[in-house]
Amino acid sequence: MSAPTPRAATLAFALALAVTMVAGCPKKPTETTLPLVTTDDPVAEADLEEARERAANGDAPGARSGYEGFLRDHPEDPLVPIAQLELGQLLLAEGRYEEARAQFAPVAEHEDEAVAERGSFYLGVAMHLLGDSTGAIERLRPMVGRTVDPRETALLLQTLGAAAEQTGDRIGAVEAYDTLLSEAVPEDDKHQARERLAQVISRLEAQEAYVLFGRLNREGETWPSVTRRAAQEAFTGGDLGRVAELIHALEEADVPLDEELRAMALRAGRTGQVHAQAIGAILPLSGRGREVGQNALHGLMIAAGMPLQGPPSRNTPRLHFRDSGGDPERARAAVDDLATLHQVVAIIGPVSGEAAVAAAERAEELGVPLLSLAPDGRLVDRGEHVFRIFSGPTEEAAALVRAARARGATRFASLHPAHGYGRAMTRALREAAEAAGAQWAGAVSYDPAATSFGEPIDQLAALSFDALLVPDAGRRIALVAPALAAKGLWSGSAPQGGRVVQLLLPSPAVDRALVQNAARYVQGALFASQFHAASATGESAGFVSAFRDRFGSEPDAYAAAAYDGFRLVARAVATTRRGDEVDRGRVTRWLAQSGGFATAGSSGGLGATRGPAQLPRVLELRDGVFTPLR
């Protein structure tokens, strides 16, 4: 069963109190009842006593009628505030809050200070139940420590806690409920307070929990739970120094640590330490992206000099990798594992968008450099420790526009699939074209699942342009390019009556299948390329040769990017280490200025924006061969 809401819990207290306080009112005042208020009218005294007896016998309607009759028949009697208080309690228990407030309000203004305080107390409860929680807090908070009856003490603190919850003051709510647990109140009241505490503590933010860690009585029942919450939030936020402080405080207080706290303590103690030879990787080695992940892992193995079998040599940088499965939560947990248990200098990966975002956020929290293999340009916005070695739409579009402008193109257009990548590439092309002083002719979209393109190409043909982007994969362009030619739009050269346009294609189009199936229609097209094994030179050629020898296959762009990322981190460590000391901050700063580094892929290292230092290469298709532009 779920815990009651703050308002429902307050009502439960009000109901219980109404029954006990009204039904059990003694004839003579005691230390827990109202101050002695007497009357000289024996009839008035008898009428009030009759109403009380009805309440004591469980006759709430009769009691209410009796109190109302007393107030009607004896409006000036000194016992009026007692009748109003007891009638108001019955009305509270019946959920008639506005009527209850009308009874309590005049009592709160009584000339006797003690009577006024009792009226103000119940008025505050009614105000909260009517939704004025801020006013209720202002009225009730000064009364903490002044109530004597245990049930009134419980109602006071329960109402303060619930009102604080309603106003978003989680600190005030915890303090109220914690005080209730320390008071001599009935156990059922404490049980309800514990239920509310569990709810509030589970929602505490890091700083709120830390404030309560300092404020609450360490001998109290609530402090260990709050401190545990503070440690969890600090660990999630990457504040491992605070984690160590909080767990040490729990140990000093002889609070047993569960498995989660012990793990956090271990990691907090190790996260600041860095192993100079340890580099981490997070890759999709299972699930839909496993082929890409395996290629990237092979690239890392080449960079690390890892043998296919047996342990690496003593001086070889150690590669520690984790499988993200493309899952954000697994990627985030992998960052924790690599940073704390393996004490890696930096992390390469992940590859996919959501996993990359989760890993980037956690790496930034822990202060660990992360070189993502995802092309999302927004990743670097996660913080100064996050880098992107892969070019994205912005860089690819800029490279294609520059190459097309060098060939005389002045008007750009896009024929794109109606999905996120197609729209992103189109937007990037327009921005790059306009930044280069060219004109934007327009864009036409098509269904990503289409196999015929007559209508969108007819719309496109009506535009005036000389360079056309088709941001799609090679297998799809093998369908689009012939359809363009059928409408008289040719790449490279055109038969009589045809129109020549400069075809611009993104890196996913660099595919031998496109050449095999539609070479005639994409001759002279320009392709953005992160990496192309067949045209590799320099560092790239050496990597391709090593990869072929080791794995008997061609490396792809992900293998090259992972290879480059590992080598960048290794160079950063070698350059910035001081004796045996390696500092992640120095490594981060070096990576942000690593442009000009000889890479297998197109990045050329990393620039001040923490993205690729160079635009991707541009290839031209000539006679069925991808050839780098000079």
Report, as an integer, the average pLDDT of 47-59.
Answer: 92
- Three-state secondary structure string covering 415-439: EEECCHHHHHHHHHHHHHHHHCCCE
Q: What is the pLDDT of residue 377?
A: 86
Q: What is the pLDDT of residue 33?
A: 45
pLDDT beyond 60 at 22: no
H/E element holding 468? strand 467-469
> 362-373 pLDDT, tens per residue?
999 888 999 999
pLDDT beyond 90 at 268: no
CATH 3.40.50.2300 fits 393-529, yes or no: yes
Spatial separation of the C-alpha atoms in residues 376 and 267, rounded to whole Å: 30
> 155-170 pLDDT, tens per residue?
999 999 999 999 999 9
pLDDT beyond 90 at 77: yes
pLDDT beyond 70 at 555: yes
Q: What is the pLDDT of residue 535?
A: 87
Non-local (6+) Cβ contacts of 387 within 8 A are 369, 370, 371, 372, 380, 591, 592, 606, 610, 611
pLDDT beyond 60 at 181: yes
pLDDT beyond 60 at 10: no
Positive or negative: CA dihedral 12, 16, 22, 27: negative
pLDDT beyond 60 at 31: no
Q: What is the pLDDT of residue 7?
A: 54
pLDDT beyond 50 at 35: no
Is omega for the bond preceding 350 within 30 degrees of 0, making it cis?
Answer: yes
Please tell me the least confidently modeled range out of 14-23, 34-43, 235-244: 14-23
Give the pLDDT band (50/70/90) at residue 311. Answer: low
Spatial separation of the C-alpha atoms in residues 176 and 194, rounded to whole Å: 11
Q: What is the pLDDT of residue 1?
A: 38
Give the pLDDT band (50/70/90) at residue 308. Answer: low
Query: How would DSSP label each residue in 315-339?
Result: TSPEEEEEE-TT-HHHHHHHHHIII
Average pLDDT, the chain: 89
Report, as an integer, the average pLDDT of 312-340.
Answer: 84
H/E element holding 490? strand 489-491
Q: What is the pLDDT of residue 131?
A: 92
> 92-137 pLDDT, tens per residue?
988 999 999 999 999 999 988 889 999 999 999 999 999 999 999 9
Q: What is the pLDDT of residue 243?
A: 86
pLDDT beyond 80 at 473: yes
pLDDT beyond 70 at 270: no
pLDDT beyond 50 at 18: no
Give the pLDDT band (50/70/90) at residue 32. Answer: very low
Spatial separation of the C-alpha atoms in residues 311 and 166, rounded to whole Å: 60
Q: What is the pLDDT of residue 276?
A: 81
Q: What is the pLDDT of residue 478?
A: 94
pLDDT beyond 60 at 4: no
CATH 3.40.50.1370 fits 6-192, yes or no: no
Give the pLDDT band (50/70/90) at residue 480. Answer: very high
CB 559 within 8 Å of CB 318: no
Structural tokens at position 62:
């009769």
Query: Burial letters for 513-532: b for 16+ Cβ neighbours within 10 Å, e otherwise?
Result: ebbebbeebbbbbbbbbbbb
Q: What is the pLDDT of residue 23?
A: 41
* Domain at 273-390+537-609, CATH homologous superfamily: Response regulator (3.40.50.2300)
pLDDT beyond 90 at 512: no
Q: What is the pLDDT of residue 577?
A: 87
Q: What is the pLDDT of residue 130?
A: 93
pLDDT beyond 50 at 449: yes
Nearest Cα to Cα of residue 540 among 561, 515, 570, 566 = 561
pLDDT beyond 60 at 28: no
CB 430 within 8 Å of CB 468: no
Report, as an integer, the average pLDDT of 455-484.
Answer: 95
Q: What is the pLDDT of residue 6?
A: 54
Please tell me the least confidently modeled range out of 189-203, 438-452, 576-590, 599-613: 576-590
Q: What is the pLDDT of residue 532?
A: 92
Give the pLDDT band (50/70/90) at residue 618. Answer: very high
* Radius of gyration of the chain, Cα coordinates, nearest whole angstrom: 37
Q: Report the share of the chain in percent with pLDDT over 70.
A: 92
Q: What is the pLDDT of residue 216?
A: 95
> 390-432 pLDDT, tens per residue?
999 999 999 999 999 999 999 999 999 999 999 999 999 999 9
Report, as an integer, the average pLDDT of 598-619.
Answer: 94
Per domain, the residue ranges of the chain are 6-192, 204-271, 273-390+537-609, 393-529
- 273-390+537-609: same fold as 6-192? no
Report, as an integer, the average pLDDT of 468-494.
Answer: 92
Give the pLDDT band (50/70/90) at residue 147. Answer: confident
Amino acid at the residue 589 = R
* Beta strand extents in 4-57 (DSSP E only): none
